[in-house]
Amino acid sequence: MPARGRWPYAKHYAALDLGTNNCRLLIARPQGEGFTVVDAFSRIVRLGEGLSASGQLSDAAIERTIAALRVCADKLKRRNVTLARSVATEACRRASNGSSFIERVYRETGIVLDIITAEEEARLAVLGCHALLEPGDGPALVFDIGGGSTELVLIDASEPVPQVLDWHSAPWGVVSLTEAIRAAHGDADHRAQYARMRETASASFTGFAKRLPKGVTGHRLLGSSGTVTTLASVHLGLDSYDRSRVDGLIVPSSEMRSVSASLADMDLKQRSRIPCIGRERADLVVAGCAILESILDIWPAHRLGIADRGIREGILRRLMQGETA
């Protein structure tokens, strides 16, 4: 008789988030009121590289992404996943060849990617990370700095499931903002480019900022993105990324501004020598810093909560609650 694993009847669920910069997979089984992760995968694929200029996903970016998705497909099969949902975000929303890319992914990997709206992206991120919000009264702001867009969500967190009061999707993420400023101001030095990034990000938040409630005390702010986890790692002086030390961390906003200013003042080679940034993130992290500082301008929280969780966790919670959409 074949040997059974320790959890022979446990259902495995999976969530795949294909963003403009990263491909991330999470496989988990229900446990108590939450879940336990049994497998995970993350790779920087830069699917949206060059999208701002061409309006299309490039052949090289597609090949990199499909290679990563093949790894995901293999994990889904080996883990006998019962139910999965795979979503694609801003790069596929914007690309003129996004639909043909989705069809090719299905043909070559068997993965069915669902291109979700910016609003659903925002709601999934909140569902996945809101548990890390600091206790307090009044509305809170949750944000997710992606590769191609940034989602801002104002929530009422007084109930177990937060109520979305307002939301906004800005068309700038770390890839799109970096490419736009490089194309328009590539001859400027890195400090001038950072100033342009700040101006551009701030302008994209203007309408939402006007809608934010006035007279709020004790602003609460929670960030879910590679930007905030990277900056938190730099703040802690980590030699390598350690999720157990970063996820759920509360950092003074002044420290995050200080780290952002320091990185913006460095050139590419200097940033690439920082262990938690490296060559893969050195050219994009500054755009994330600019977006973060612009968020702190419109929602002046004294502390920033750091979440290494978001869309994938939100999808898993929905799947385990019996919601497939």
Per-residue pLDDT averaged across 247-276, rounded? 96
Q: What DSSP state is assigned to residue 217?
A: -
Question: 209, 135, 130: which is closest to 163 by C-alpha?
Answer: 130
Q: What is the pLDDT of residues 174-206, one digit of tens each?
A: 999 999 999 888 777 888 999 999 999 999 999
By DSSP bridging, strand 250-252 and strand 303-307 are antiparallel
Distance CA 124, CA 252 (A): 26
Reduced to 3 states (helix: H, G, I; strand: E, B; else coil), residue 283 is: coil
> Cα angle vertex 248, ends 298, 167, to 5°?
35
The pLDDT value given to residue 316:
97
Q: Is the pLDDT of residue 325 over 70?
A: no
Under the banding of pLDDT at 50, 70 and 90, the label for residue 8 is very low
pLDDT exceeding 70 applies to what percent of the chain?
96
Q: Is the model's pLDDT at 280 over the cut of 60?
A: yes
Question: H or E stretch including 173?
Answer: none
From CA 241, how far away is CA 191, in angstroms rounded?
27
> What is the tens place of the pLDDT at every residue in 70-112?
999 999 999 999 999 999 999 999 999 999 999 999 999 999 9
pTM of the entire structure?
0.91
Q: pLDDT tens for residues 216-239? A: 989 999 999 899 999 999 999 999
Is 172's pLDDT higher than 60?
A: yes
- Span 14-68, pLDDT tens digits: 999 999 999 999 999 999 888 999 999 999 999 999 999 999 999 999 999 999 9
Report percent pLDDT > 90 for the chain.
86
Q: What is the band of 155 on the pLDDT scale with cuts at 50, 70, 90?
A: very high
User: So what's the pLDDT on residue 1?
Assistant: 37
Is 5 a residue whose pLDDT tops 50?
Answer: no
Q: How confident is the prediction for the chain on average, in pLDDT?
A: 93
All domains of the chain, ordered by start, with CATH? Answer: 13-116 (3.30.420.40), 132-311 (3.30.420.150)
pLDDT exceeds cutoff 80 at 323:
no
Identify the pLDDT of residue 33. Answer: 83
pLDDT score of 185: 82
Question: In which residue are the tokens 């950072």 written?
Answer: 194
Using the predicted structure, report yes or no on whether residue 3 has a pLDDT greater than 80: no
Helix, strand, coil shares of the chain, percent, nearest 5, are: 45, 20, 35
Mean pLDDT of 157-179: 94
Alpha carbons 198 and 307: distance in angstroms, whole number: 23
